[in-house]
Structure 1
Amino acid sequence: MKTELIITTYNSVRALELCLVSVARQSLLPDTICIADDGSGPETKEFIDGLGATYPNLTFRHVWHEDQGFEKCRILNKAIESSEAEFLFFLDGDVMIHPNFLKRHFDLAQRGRFSTGSLIRLDETATEAMTSEIVTSGDAFDRSWLRENRAIDRLGTWLKTMPFPFAIQNLLDVTTPVQKALCGANWSAFREDILKVNGFDETLKYGGLDKEFGIRLINAGVKGRHLRYTAPLVHLDHPRGYRDPEKVKRHKAMIKEVRTSGRSWTEDGIIKGPKPV
């Protein structure tokens, strides 16, 4: 089964580099890595063009469109449509993943199911202190380092650092009452299930786009599996100047409509228009 990791990015070479350092350390590597680029400038292209030399054991492709503001849904659809893989992993380019992250998602790969997790968030100071060496050494996922850098703020965050044997962590995944909402920064699914709902709704900008998509997957019979405690990743802090309260309000209304109507198809996805008969 061919796999592809799709990583979204926008004008953030440092974060993307840290993300890829963690990807290179995976116990299971994807067949290809697609950088889904939401209109970054030449610095990002130059960095991506050099990845083949930096990571000769990894295969990259770069999907890009012109910068028209926050258009994550559109670049994701472009990456999904052009992918030749059966099973897709998704990351935002501002996260670093535990060495067993991709293997955990792959081990649970099943048609008719998506897997998704949650984040360990770094503050601005810890983000500035993060280096490739910290990621390579494994300290980025070390409880002592995370505690010293204020990332462990409650019991739930501590449990995300996998303090117990895998069997117990898996039991926590299964038994913890958490909503199976899709988190766009880290998830996986079969490509055919994504196409079943026509990908992401491109009218959605920042705020709720992943939740709306996840609800449509569930409406289509694709069940969610939450990996809250067995596939950790660390999220770098960054400003969100693209956040628009009016758009967020509109998105909440759309999410409510999708949930109550049971609709799974979007007419503003990979295919523009009604679902083909």
Structure 2
Amino acid sequence: MNTELILSTYNSPRALVLTLLSVARQVRRPDSVCVADDGSGPDTAAAIAGVQARFPDLPIRHLWHEDRGFEKNVILNKAIASSQAEYLVFVDGDCLIHPCFIARHLELARPDHFLSGSLIRLDTPTTEAVTEEDVLEGRVFDRAWLARTGTFRRFSTRLKAGLLPKWAGHLLEAVYPVGRNWCGANGSAYRAAIVRVNGLDETMKYGGGDKEFGIRLENSGVKGRHVRFTAPLVHLDHPRGYKDAEKIRAHRAKIRHARSSGKIRAEAGIDGHLPRKGT
């Protein structure tokens, strides 16, 4: 099964390099990596080129569009539309993935399911202190290292870091009482299932777009399945100057509508980026 990892990014070259280094350490690498770039400056292109030079056997394509504000859903739809892969895994370009991350997503891949994980969130001082060696040597996933940084403020975070043996984590994921919402920072699905629901809603900016997309997948018959405790991912802290309270309120209304109406397809979605038949 051909697989592509889609990384969303915007003007965060240091975080993106760390993320790509964690991809290079995968026990089962994706067949390709797409950096879905929401309008970054030239430093991001230079960062990608630097990683590609260090790991020439890691196929990376850089998909960029002009900066028009927060249009993550648009660039993700463009990445999905242009992908040649059968199965797509999604993370943000400020997330470090465990060496077994891709392998776990592929182990559970099913046409009638999407997978949704979670994040281990680092605070700002820890984020600033993370080095490339920490990623390449795997220290960022070492439970003792995470404990020393104060990351384990909740027991659930210890579970997300792989505290349980795999069989126990697998069992807990099946019964854990948390909604199986799509998580764009740790999610995966068959490309065909995503195309059927017309991808992500491009009218939605920051806040709620993931959940609305997951509801439409569910409405189409593609149900959510947790990888909450068996696909660890460490999130680097960053400011969110693009948050807009008014847009978030409007997005909540769209989420309620998608849930109550059984809506499947986005009106403004991936269709506009797919090649037309006969062309």
> What's the secondary structure of 1:84's corresponding residue?
coil
| 1:266 shift after superposition | 0.8
The superposition leaves residues 216-257 of structure 1 with CA deviations (integer Å, 9 ceiling, x where unpaired) of 000000011111110010000000000000000000010000
In structure 1, the residue matched to 2:276 is none
Partner letter of residue 175 of structure 1?
Answer: V
In structure 2, the residue matched to 1:207 is 207
In structure 2, the residue matched to 1:239 is 239
**Matching of residue 250 in structure 1 with residue 250 in structure 2:** yes
> What's the secondary structure of 2:271's corresponding residue?
coil
| 1:21 shift after superposition | 0.9
| 1:52 shift after superposition | 2.7
Partners of 1:236 and 1:79 in 2: how far apart? 23
In structure 1, the residue matched to 2:142 is 142
Partner letter of residue 19 of structure 1?
Answer: T
**Matching of residue 190 in structure 1 with residue 193 in structure 2:** no
| 1:50 shift after superposition | 3.3
| 1:162 shift after superposition | 1.1
> What's the secondary structure of 1:50's corresponding residue?
helix
Cα contact 2:94–2:235 (8 A) shared by 1: yes
Cα contact 2:20–2:51 (8 A) shared by 1: no
Partners of 1:43 and 1:49 in 2: how far apart? 10
> Bigger shift: 32-41 or 46-55?
46-55
| 1:142 shift after superposition | 1.1
The superposition leaves residues 1-31 of structure 1 with CA deviations (integer Å, 9 ceiling, x where unpaired) of 2111110010101000110111111010111
| 1:271 shift after superposition | 1.6
In structure 2, the residue matched to 1:158 is 158
Cα contact 1:27–1:103 (8 A) shared by 2: yes
> Bigger shift: 103-112 or 136-145?
136-145
The superposition leaves residues 155-210 of structure 1 with CA deviations (integer Å, 9 ceiling, x where unpaired) of 11111111222111111111211100111111111000000100000000000110
Cα contact 1:51–1:60 (8 A) shared by 2: no
> What's the secondary structure of 1:88's corresponding residue?
strand
In structure 1, the residue matched to 2:275 is none
> What's the secondary structure of 1:202's corresponding residue?
coil
Structure 2, unaligned runs of 5 or more: 273-279
Partners of 2:137 and 2:48 in 1: how far apart? 23
Partners of 1:43 and 1:212 in 2: how far apart? 32
Runs of at least 4 residues off by over 4 Å: none
Pairs within 5 Å for 1:172-183? 172-183=172-183
In structure 2, the residue matched to 1:86 is 86
The superposition leaves residues 105-141 of structure 1 with CA deviations (integer Å, 9 ceiling, x where unpaired) of 0011111210010010000011011111111121101
Cα contact 1:5–1:30 (8 A) shared by 2: yes
Partners of 1:242 and 1:131 in 2: how far apart? 27
In structure 2, the residue matched to 1:63 is 63
**Matching of residue 8 in structure 1 with residue 8 in structure 2:** yes
Cα contact 2:17–2:51 (8 A) shared by 1: no
In structure 1, the residue matched to 2:263 is 263
CA-based RMSD of the aligned residues comes to 1.1
In structure 1, the residue matched to 2:72 is 72
| 1:49 shift after superposition | 2.8
Partners of 1:5 and 1:132 in 2: how far apart? 20
Partners of 2:47 and 2:233 in 1: how far apart? 23
Partners of 2:81 and 2:213 in 1: how far apart? 16
TM-score (norm 1): 0.96
> What's the secondary structure of 2:270's corresponding residue?
coil
Cα contact 1:34–1:79 (8 A) shared by 2: yes
In structure 2, the residue matched to 1:30 is 30
Cα contact 2:97–2:232 (8 A) shared by 1: yes
In structure 2, the residue matched to 1:118 is 118
**Matching of residue 21 in structure 1 with residue 24 in structure 2:** no
